[in-house]
Structure 1
């Protein structure tokens, strides 16, 4: 299946949020940290918030499209590029949307925060493929431009995943597990993974769309 990957614009946010919400419907992390009541609606709102307030203006969002339309979304974030007041505003809204799982979400975040690596990097914040299109190589294709950009810039890539099949998927793309955490009170195991920059790609200068000019490059 042929997929065309392009950068997202603000107008793409509702459709991209819908794809991510669909992809994360049964994901262990979101099931643990987001209220089950209107779970799908909460996810769509959370992803719209993250995309519109953080990822599109301060990061990078790549969209995968086929003849059927939008099918995949990759979200990349440089945390130091996002103003503190934006993080604070998003954090308050995220807590409200988490509903009765807000305390569990805060505890999970606190546990992981102390284990994240401290080095210049880009974070793969989310990768989602519409459930009806999973297993066809669309995820890897959607990640390719962002990974090439990170290589060109000489940046490691970090990610966290709470689904063991994802660990195998990311290993095939050059990531390695650097830590694994069982979240408190029966929460899902979460793997922290890192991919070092590949010098060969950087030497070729294979950069496509990067982060906004002047944003912590």
Structure 2
């Protein structure tokens, strides 16, 4: 029996961050952007920070068993609080400069940001990512800004997003880093 997809609560965040850390362990962008020293702990902490921000300002959806997580931020969302930005700076260490030096193309105007979506590795390929994405699309479709933009640096994700109607708008090769696909959908 498939697990239900629902909006996350604050009590889900620690386990949801662990799920995303597992899902993104070998992801090209995180491997490039997060220092290798204590990588796994840094990744989990960063995921927890971003999920907390998304829960406060946007939408976080999870599977009931917390094996899958997705987070959306609406247009015009504020930056994380200054205290969180300090923590992010410390976690990013010497990678902060290169990350902030990346120039990606602009997103669709008044677009939601699919900030993250991930599934525990042992659940990959079982349709859970599609179910999470369907729920994200459903929730954004009824909003005043029915469009979503995202970036991915994993080519396998491009086909998942395309199956759900997203189109590649740009491909950006990061110097000494991954290829980043900028994708969007208007609902």
Structure 2 counterpart of 1:107, from 101, 110, 125 = 101
Tell me, which stretches of 5 or more residues in structure 1 are unaligned? 198-217
What is the root-mean-square deviation of aligned Cα atoms in Å? 1.5
Structure 2 counterpart of 1:127, from 92, 98, 117 = 117
Q: Distance in 2 between matches of 1:116 and 1:134?
A: 30
Q: Distance in 2 between matches of 1:182 and 1:168?
A: 19
Cross-structure match for 1:98: 92
1:150 aligns with 2:140: yes
TM-score by length of 2: 0.93
Cross-structure match for 2:76: 80
Q: Distance in 2 between matches of 1:140 and 1:171?
A: 11
* CA distances 1:10-48 after superposition (whole Å, capped 9, x unpaired): 111100100000000000000010011111100110011
Tell me, which stretches of 5 or more residues in structure 2 are unaligned? none
Say whether the 8 Å CA contact 2:34–2:95 is kept in structure 1: yes
Q: Which has the higher helix share?
A: 1
Q: Distance in 2 between matches of 1:87 and 1:28?
A: 27
* CA distances 1:78-120 after superposition (whole Å, capped 9, x unpaired): 14132x4x35443332221012322222212xx12xx122511
Say whether the 8 Å CA contact 2:12–2:66 is kept in structure 1: no
Q: Distance in 2 between matches of 1:35 and 1:92?
A: 16
**Deviation above 4 Å: which 4+ runs of structure 1?**
none
Say whether the 8 Å CA contact 2:75–2:110 is kept in structure 1: no
| The 10-residue stretch of structure 1 (115-124 or 87-96) with the greater mean CA deviation from structure 2 | 87-96
Q: CA deviation at 1:146?
A: 1.6
* CA distances 1:138-171 after superposition (whole Å, capped 9, x unpaired): 0010121220121222511100000111111100
Aligned counterparts, 1:1-217, within 5 A: 2-52=2-52, 54-65=53-64, 69-82=65-78, 84=79, 86=80, 88-108=82-102, 111-112=103-104, 115-153=105-143, 154-184=145-175, 186-197=176-187
Q: Distance in 1 between matches of 2:99 and 2:62?
A: 27
Structure with greater Cα Rg? 1
Residue aligned with 1:127, SS? strand
Say whether the 8 Å CA contact 1:182–1:190 is kept in structure 2: yes
CA 1:174 to 1:118, structure 2 compared with 1: closer, same or farther past 3 Å?
A: closer
Say whether the 8 Å CA contact 2:108–2:149 is kept in structure 1: no
Q: Distance in 1 between matches of 2:83 and 2:183?
A: 28
Q: Distance in 1 between matches of 2:83 and 2:136?
A: 27
